[in-house]
Amino acid sequence: MKNILITGSGGQIGSELTLELRSRLGGSHVVASDKREITEGALFETGPVEVADVTNAKEIAGLVKKYNIDTIYHLAAVLSAVGEAKPQLAWDIGVNGLYNILEVAREQKCAVFFPSSIGAFGPSTPLDNTPQDTIQRPVSMYGVTKVSGEMLCDYYAQRFDVDARGVRFPGIISNGTLPGGGTTDYAVEIFYAAVKTKHFVCPLEAGTFLDMMYMPDAIKAAINVMEADPKKLKHRNAFNVTSMSFDPEILYAEIRKHIPDFKMEYQPDPVKMRIANSWPNKMDDSCAREEWGWNPEFDLDKMTRDMIQVIRKKFEMGLI
């Protein structure tokens, strides 16, 4: 990887991945692109920024040429809950956007990272120890775009030799850019509520188990799968990766170890519950561990300590 283009750089994962790659490769080698103009902050100050709409293939092709890009991290997406409100937009960005990226990658010989998700599974998938290769019949438009994306990446790899790789991310917990419109967002929002108001209204029911991961591990997964020795990869694309699985009660109890007067109540959101009930309780990520050494660092205890420490500091400094 010498020159990288990131789509969706302004998003939850994109903003942190861009900065990590810039710190490794040098700012000028990592181009941050987003549909919305980036005009300030760390992304703006540490390297090139561009406005790019992934549904506009010419725009993407122009950027790849301009910066002599050899690797594209394609993170632009519409998340699961928003995708149910705007299914046409979710398809357009999720599938047509990825198609454009893969076509540009084929023409200009780039590697591609594509983040699939636990959303690529559905109610007929085995939801405990969900295998790497299994039934995928999602019931959300987000899931439909992710399964289509996995298949498109496999097709471009086999047919056109595009080095398309990726993982199936669980819910990502972070303290930088907030997630926007996902089913797993509660696992981020709860920390801000615990620190700021000591009260949280949870949109998922008790007992709703989902896979989760702390951002530093998500960044590590995205970079390591792209740097893995291709000879050792049997799958290449859509690797199950996870670090922890919990339901809202377990997370609530963990946060109360640090903030004992924190209170949570439940007001389940029917759209999010329908989606969450169709997603795995816990994935089996042994293929990622065996094929490219996936090994997360943060469990529930370590992630919770770090999240509270960082968010408390931001709160005390008046930043949130």
Interface residue list for ligand AKB (CB under 6 A):
79-80, 117-119, 142, 169-171, 179, 182-184
Helix (H) or strand (E) run with residue 282 in it: strand 282-283
Provide DSSP, 227-257.
HS-GGG-SS-S-EE--SEEE-HHHHHHHHHT
> 180 near 82, Cβ under 8 Å?
yes
Distance CA 194, CA 270 (A): 24
> In angstroms, what is the minimal distance from the CB of 74 to ligand AKB?
14
Structure tokens at 36: 């919305």
- Of 170, 195, 193, 174, the C-alpha closest to 183 is 170
> In angstroms, what is the minimal distance from the CB of 117 to ligand AKB?
3
Closer residue to ligand AKB, CB minimum distance, 81 or 311: 81
Closer residue to ligand AKB, CB minimum distance, 29 or 35: 35
Closer residue to ligand AKB, CB minimum distance, 13 or 264: 13
> In angstroms, what is the minimal distance from the CB of 115 to ligand AKB?
8
Distance CA 38, CA 52 (A): 11
Half-sphere CA count of 88, side-chain side, radius 13 A: 0
Structure tokens at 22: 């810039």
- How many secondary structure helices (H) and strands (E) does the chain include? 13, 14
Closer residue to ligand AKB, CB minimum distance, 80 or 304: 80
Of all residues in the shown chain, the one whose CB is closest to ligand AKB is 182
Distance CA 65, CA 136 (A): 36
> In angstroms, what is the minimal distance from the CB of 62 to ligand AKB?
29
> 65 near 109, Cβ under 8 Å?
no
> In angstroms, what is the minimal distance from the CB of 307 to ligand AKB?
16
Three-class SS of residue 275? helix
Residues catalogued as catalytic: 142
Closer residue to ligand AKB, CB minimum distance, 60 or 118: 118
